[in-house]
A and B are shown apart, each in its own frame.
Chain A
Amino acid sequence: MTDSVISLPIRILVLLLLLVIVAPLAVPMLMAFSDTPFLTFPPQGFTLRWFERVLFGPEAQTSFLFSLQLAFLATITALLLGVPAAAALVRYEFRGRSAIIGLMLSPVIVPLIVTGVALLQMFSSLGWGDTLTQLVIGHAVVCLPYVVRSVTASFVLVNRDLEDAAAVMGAPPHKVLTKIVWPQVRPGILAGAVFSFVVSFDDYPISMWLADGRHFPIPLYLHGLLERSIDPSIAAISTLVILFALLLVVVIEKVFGISIARLAT
């Protein structure tokens, strides 16, 4: 559809929707620059000291780096489980197929806080002590649906005739996989990875149950900060997290030339 076809009321509606989505994000980003010892909107004065405090504060740094590490490990785990699962779900008809789809997508439906407490109970009854492993498993469970969804979508689009054509032309199975299937599912896998990373990076309800003092992801740190003091450093951290997610999307789009927006639909 070209722009000229979209009628004016629709344009206004879309604009309003975007405003409702984007405006709340703009508020903390503006408050982060406020030169006051408390959170206020509109911001008064201008300072970068809150960013300075956050970026150079050891606690915030540790939490940020830990969140990166956790998101990375959770994403890898979700990819290792989700990509083959998605491939099998698209390619094969088998008994219990829809049950498996339902189970894998259930973390999106069941409240996360329930999933979190269930995981905690399971881990403690099993007597597992390693917090990092527990967190990675917990996050991977939550990330899996996003990976499965986007990878499934990309596998559905792979035309079986292309694989047949490649095979007829002399490509052995492993070449068919690397030369034909992989280039077509790569965008879906990458999109799934990005979603997964962001979901893990933003997660609070799972981490809340499983984290400890030495493994303290950034959303927990943010929450703790909110409870202790309300100064613009909270806004500064929020701003950094928002910018980080944006950066991730931009990098994927520019570097890999993949439109996340298009893949998500």
Chain B
Amino acid sequence: MKINISDAQIRGAHVQLEGLSKVYSGGTVGVDAIDLAVAPGEILALLGPSGCGKTTTLRMIAGLITPSAGEILIDGTSIVSLPVHRRNLGMLFQNYALFPHMSVLDNVAFGLSMRGVAKAEIAERSREALRLVQLEALADRLPKALSGGQQQRVALARAIVYRPRLLLLDEPLGALDKKLRESMQLELRQLCAQLGLTMVLVTHDQEEALTLADRIAVMRGGRIEQVGLGREVYEHPISAFVANFIGTSNLVDARIVSRDGDVTVLETDQGQSIHSTTRHGFALGDAVTVSIRPEHVTLAPSGASASGPNSLEGLVTQAVFKGQNLAIHLRVPGGADFVCTIPVAMTGSAVPAAGQIWRMTWPADRTIVVSRA
């Protein structure tokens, strides 16, 4: 049977983390008892600021860091006691980690030669993998003769040539420029679907997480703060941290003063009233934060009658042209800063300018109630 990577139907691994922890010798907790499941063929992003434990988690799955406690299961079987080289995973590193003393082809062939595959088959499959990333012509070059994007594609070919069922990506596109990064993101997505690979991706870039991943696990201080589909996490963040880490949010501290069916009425610290019709699990009197996405705020000239319950007047401090959008920064009496984005195509004759007073309105069903901090 001729083995052909692009035709092979590889089913991705089912990954489960159970109470996975890493406590360093000094007592510092890197990862704090996280539970997480990744379905076969799914792309999951571990998203968070530096030091949140995302890289430690990834390296524990790879076997490069020994967990202090907990289980890592691949298709139901624990791999915690397996050494790195027996885990049969693929991994992409931020700096590509290509072997500088080996040609591109030898780099790609490395994993197969470690598996004792016959020479002829190694050559065939390595070329096949290079063809998959469209770099067959550069097989005999040394890595240093390649551009950053090409190097990352070699690293990708090298990681999938021995057909792992799980691919780990450690900020793989961080060193590439924006254009290249975006095309690589799409390429990776396509490849994952084509090979049926499961992918776990570490990133601090929310845009990358949203573009590349099916689900996002937002990490903070060694714990998973929220996990869900990209859109879900974006539209229904559970905390001010998540709301601000994924995209930008206008965050206003408030207290719940009444609930009437779907409608929650909140009062801000400045005494303004805000209505929300979104679901949340808070009770009367709870101190919470209200999150409003900049794209959901509409602006009207000062003095216009309020068209809904949620309306505030603010002084425009800056109007920034961002290409597709105009970002308007406003200051509300009492000190809260707001930002709202309006599509440039939608701006009519009256465009907000610094120094003017404008009225902001936003719908109650776009007013998210999240936990403070």
Contacts and interface: CB of A to CB of B under 8 A. Distances in A.
A167 B111 CA distance: 9
Given A167-B85, A168-B62, A162 B110 contact: no
A158 to B, nearest CB: 10
B171 to A, nearest CB: 12
Interface string B105-139: 00000110011000000000000000000000000
A168 B90 contact: yes
A127 interface: no
A184 interface: yes
Contacts of B168: 168
Nearest to B111: A169
Interface string A175-200: 10001100110000000000000000
Nearest to B87: A168
Interface in B131-184: 158-159, 162, 168
Given A170-B111, A170-B114, A165 B85 contact: no
Contacts of A167: 63-64, 84-85
A28 B115 CA distance: 60
| A interface, over-half SS | helix
B318 interface: no
Contact of B97 (A161, A179, A183, A184): A161
Interface residues of B, number: 26
B95 interface: yes
Contacts of A42: none
B89 interface: yes
A159 interface: yes
Nearest to A165: B97
A165 B85 CA distance: 10
Given A170-B111, A170-B114, A175-B114, A164 B85 contact: no
Contacts of A161: 93, 95, 97
B342 interface: no
A165 B93 contact: yes
Interface string A3-36: 0000000000000000000000000000000000
Given A169-B114, A169-B162, A170-B115, A164 B88 contact: no
A159 B85 contact: no
Contacts of B86: 170
A164 B87 CA distance: 13
A132 interface: no
A171 B114 contact: yes
A162 B95 CA distance: 10
Contacts of A169: 85, 90, 110-111, 114, 158-159, 162
A172 interface: yes
23 contacts: A159-B95, A167-B63, A167-B85, A168-B62, A168-B63, A168-B64, A168-B85, A168-B87, A168-B89, A168-B91, A168-B168, A169-B110, A169-B111, A169-B114, A169-B162, A170-B111, A170-B114, A170-B115, A172-B85, A175-B114, A179-B110, A184-B100, A184-B101
Interface of B: 62-64, 83-91, 93, 95, 97, 99-101, 110-111, 114-115, 158-159, 162, 168
